[in-house]
Amino acid sequence: MEKCTVVFNPVKKSIIVKKGANLLEVARKAGIFIDAPCGGKGNCGKCRVKVVSGEHQMEFTPLLKEEELKNGIRLACLTFIEGDMVVEIPHVDAVEGIFVEDIKPGDEKSERIEKACKMLTEQGFKKDSGAFSAYLKLPSPTLDDNVADLERLKRELRKKYGINNPVCSLNVMKTIPAKLREGDFRVRGLILKDKYSCEVVGLDGFYTDGIYGICADIGTTTVAVNLVDLTTGEIIAFASSANLQIQYGGDVISRIIYSGEEEGLDRLKKSIVDGTINPLINKLILKNNVKRENIILCVFAGNTTMSHLFLGIDPANIRLEPYIPVFKECPELKAKDVGINVNPEAKVILLPNVASYVGGDIVSGILASGIWAQDENILFLDLGTNGEIVLGNRDYLLSCACSAGPAFEGGEISCGMRAAPGAIESIKIDRETFEPSINVLGDIKPKGICGSGLIDLIAEMFLSGIIDSKGKISREVSSDRIRYDEDLDVMEYVLVRDKDSYDGRDITINEIDIDNLLRAKAAVYSGLSVLLNSAGLTLRDVDKIIIAGGVGSNLHIRNAINIGLLPDVDESKYYYMGNSSLIGAYLCLLFQEARDKAKEISDSMTYIELSTFPFYMEEFIKACFIPHTDLNLFPGVVGLLEKNKRR
């Protein structure tokens, strides 16, 4: 039987298959997700790929144009492999899959949002996005009433809505004569108002309705988007996917370095806007039958580097001492300026940053957390690709960033992955047999391990004696799940055997992975120590700890304490709030006053540069053990270990 190698770009995954195999099936086998709603019957035309090189055959389809065929575009489901091939996958939705979810009242996501809205309302904020539909019946022009179209429209807006001299872009002006006459001078105006001005961002038929907004968290690893009905405030659906920039580096530093290469900045900008955000929006609007032109308001939150790359602004100085971003607060923009594929005149709000390593996502999270309205001292930890920590209450806000890297989102871990379908999100290991039991996200076989799963895994391996406090795997534990990897010269633990996994390969963790995770958790814990210290506080003064970020909604706080990632305080003090950045972006979408509050937070928050603290490095090294070199800090963990020994 003849074998062929197929390489899938841009992820550079390769797979060896037999000649004649179907390309869609091969892609799936390689763990590459290609959307094929028709089930691979060649009917829907969604599984477009680009063949860069290699012999193959494709059945005829009327769905591809001659131009496309010339450019190597094929339907994967109709293509059969005849030799070694290189295939390019067009968008992130095809690379790793877009995860879409309808949001219903009572859902966890919906409840968190509701809670945040309630908090704002209690603080006296008025729910008003500034976006609305103006239903206008204009008198038809006559020789006596020969006012121009635009002035006629403005006259009615003033009369019916009290709006004086609204802004109207050239693009909208161009549509006026046809739109007015199509509907016999009845028209729906899509209006955006704020305290400074008012703009007509579009015209639609008088008998149409629906105005929508987008709010999104632009994470270094994961991008999450909500489609929101601006009339009701209801979240219609949620979608998330990998940030396609991942192909250029896992963390912000490597992206900044890449942005300095030729065309680097342009590629990074395109990856996030055209490659990630626009496909997510497309998916949401297609699935929910929403007209693109009716999306007129967008709020984005991201860290400072993501904010720069989102706008195509050079982030180089973020990385160089004295770490200066180009902007803290970005002026309001339009979708057409940024290239967001909604109504081109839609307002785009990017939440303001604090400093080079504390960005709009943290401002958004703090807004959503309500810390700024509390008397108690509250710690806020965002465990995403970076780790950011905020300490404060209504009187002060201190923040710092720890270079935790992408470990808690599964990055830089051999079998790590984002919290997406196929991710192992929680793990238990039997203390006797060392056999694991796992929970997988979604109804599929496991593909890898996400943040919460990794934390569970380290904790369970530690508590069951598979690893010691330095993270080394014991050679004395008797289990065929523990083995030696000759190539890497490290021990590893097999969590899922090949026959049980999604792609037929073992899911394992080795000592290098564990080391990465320990350094990540040490970065967070030591950052937290320094931050408390610089505020003159101790853990005892902290009344509440909020955990946010991409670590996964099924984070077991106890295990995070057990590995020494989180401080060993009463678990009731902990509160997990999920993607707080996305919640804050939602609040800014729906509450104009929340946008002002975000600015206030960004202005009032003090940023502490950890690297300038002489004892930071010392704290970091002490925290690189499980749970810590100073066991007095972790009495609960000591108790657990003693209980284990007694058994």
Residues of this chain that bind a second copy (CB under 8 A): 141-143, 146-151, 167-170, 173-174, 176-178, 311-314, 316-317, 321-331, 333, 337-338, 353, 355-356, 609, 612
Q: Name the 3-class secondary structure at 405.
A: helix
Nearest to 88 by CA among 283, 244, 268: 244
Please state the closest distance from residue 194 (CB atom) to a second copy, in A.
14
Tokens encoding 250: 């896992």
Tell me whether residue 106 or residue 331 sits nearer to a second copy (CB atom): 331
Nearest approach in angstroms of CB 173 to a second copy is: 6
The residue (of 110 and 175) whose beta carbon lies closer to a second copy is 175
Based on CB atoms, which residue is closest to a second copy, 22 or 317?
317
Our measurement of the distance from residue 408's CA atom to the centroid of its chain's CA atoms, rounded to an integer in Å, reads 13
Angle subtended by helix axes 304-311 and 360-369, to nearest 10: 120
Residue 448 CB neighbours (<10 A) = 26
CB of 144 to a second copy, least distance (A): 8
Phi-psi region of 286 (alpha: psi -120 to 50; beta: other; left: phi over 0): alpha
Q: How far is the CB of 151 from a second copy (least distance, A)?
A: 5
Torsion from C-alpha of 115, 116, 122, 128, nearest 10 degrees: -120
252-259 vs 304-311: helix crossing angle, rounded to 10: 30
Q: In the bound complex, what is the minimum distance in angstroms from residue 306's beta carbon to a second copy?
A: 15
Residue 97 is classified by DSSP as: -
C-alpha span between 580 and 596 (Å, rounded) = 18
Cis peptide before 635 (omega within 30 of 0): no
Q: At what angle do helices 451-463 and 635-646 cross, to 10 degrees?
A: 50
In this complex, which beta carbon is closest to a second copy, that of residue 355 or of residue 450? Answer: 355
CB 410, min distance to a second copy, A: 31
Q: How far apart are CA 599 and CA 578, in angstroms?
A: 22
Q: How far is the CB of 542 from a second copy (least distance, A)?
A: 27
* Alpha-carbon dihedral 37, 39, 43, 49, rounded to 10 degrees: 80
Residue nearer to a second copy on the CB measure, 31 or 302:
302
Q: Which residue, 82 or 329, is less far from a second copy as judged by CB?
A: 329
CB closer to a second copy, 201 vs 517: 201
**Strand pairing class (13-18; 347-350):** unpaired
C-beta of 360: minimal distance to a second copy in Å? 12
Residue 165 Cβ vs a second copy, minimum distance, rounded to whole Å: 9
Q: From CA 424, how far away is CA 457, in angstroms rounded?
A: 10
* Smallest separation (angstroms) from a second copy to the CB of 331: 6
CB 526 within 8 A of CB 622: yes
- Three-state DSSP at 446 gives coil
Tokens read off for 3: 């074998």
3-state secondary structure labels for all residues of 62-93: CCCCHHHHHCCEEEHHHEEECCCEEEECCCHH
- Of 176 and 560, nearer to a second copy (C-beta) is 176
Q: Which is nearer to a second copy, 75 or 318 (CB)?
A: 318
